[in-house]
Amino acid sequence: MKTTRRIFLGGVAAAALPVAATTCEAVTAIQIEPSALAALIAAYNEVTAEADRIDGLSIALWESPDRPPVAMLDRAELTHSYRWHMMKQKFVMSRDAVNHLFDCEEKVFKMNAEFCGGAQNFEPHFARVEADRERYLAIFDAREARYQEWATSSGFHDLGREQDRLSGLENDLNEAIIAHPIKTLEEARMKAAHIKKVYGSSMSGTDQAVFLATLINAGEEA
């Protein structure tokens, strides 16, 4: 599904934006060459727009009636003894989790065999557990194969990889924008607008520290 592309670090950025307004008074208002900051923000907006488009395609595929369900075993499909090992879980959604159910059942019989003696009397129980394990793993594997075939042939996996690539690029561009030194009043306004768009009222931690440093440095240079 849609990947989380923007990093919201928590905290309040409201304190950061007024600093921009007061510091702007000391920043030079004349800009002769095209701003590198403007180019970074334009690139960020282009990447964001493309990421939104890819997200839309991914969501449309996920919601398609042709999509097979993700591989899982429903609690109702299992016999009582295996359901007990699931506790409150309604589904088993990985091969390891399927194996875990039968490993737990096997341990129960091993404990009983050690306590009661006569391990040979429990051999039919162990054989049943292994037969059930093989049967349920075959069901799970068939469902997983069907889902993976769809995800590959439909392009869903490709869209996911593109989402990851754009997410990394978007984050890199955002970091570059935050760290870019402010040299003009217009750049201060552009950076403040970008921060409001990306973070809203939640900016703290490293990003906030880097942003404030660019304001302080701009005031010192002026």
DSSP conformation class of 69: P
pLDDT of residue 171: 93
Q: Is residue 33 part of a domain?
A: yes
pLDDT greater than 90 at residue 195: no
Q: Is residue 146 part of a domain?
A: yes
Q: Which of 121, 153, 185 is the last residue of a domain?
A: 153
Q: Do 171 and 148 lie in a common domain?
A: no
Q: Which of 10-14, 164-168, 175-179 has the highest mean pLDDT?
A: 164-168
pTM for the full predicted model = 0.67
Q: Which amino acid is residue 55, in one-letter code?
A: D
Q: Is residue 107 part of a domain?
A: yes
Indicate the pLDDT class of residue 163, thresholds 50, 70 and 90.
very high
Q: Do 138 and 89 lie in a common domain?
A: yes
Q: Which of 153, 180, 207 is the last residue of a domain?
A: 153
Q: Is residue 2 part of a domain?
A: no
Q: Is residue 36 part of a domain?
A: yes
Q: Do 128 and 196 lie in a common domain?
A: no
Long-range contacts of 117-122 (CB under 8 A, 24+ apart): none
Find the mean pLDDT for residues 38-57: 97
CA–CA distance, 137 with 72 (Å, rounded to integer): 10
pLDDT digits (tens, 9 = 90+) for 53-74: 999 999 999 999 999 999 998 8
pLDDT of residue 30: 37
Name the domain count of the chain: 2
Q: Do 77 and 140 lie in a common domain?
A: yes
193: helix, strand or coil: helix
Q: Which of 119, 153, 187 is the last residue of a domain?
A: 153
Q: Is residue 6 part of a domain?
A: no
Identify the domain containing residue 109 by its residue range.
Answer: 73-153
pLDDT of residue 38: 93
Q: Is residue 145 part of a domain?
A: yes
CA–CA distance, 222 with 128 (Å, rounded to integer): 80
Q: Do 45 and 78 lie in a common domain?
A: no
CA–CA distance, 41 with 176 (Å, rounded to integer): 9
Q: Do 32 and 89 lie in a common domain?
A: no
pLDDT digits (tens, 9 = 90+) for 119-144: 676 677 788 889 989 999 999 999 99
**Mean of all residue pLDDT scores within the chain:** 77
pLDDT of residue 212: 56
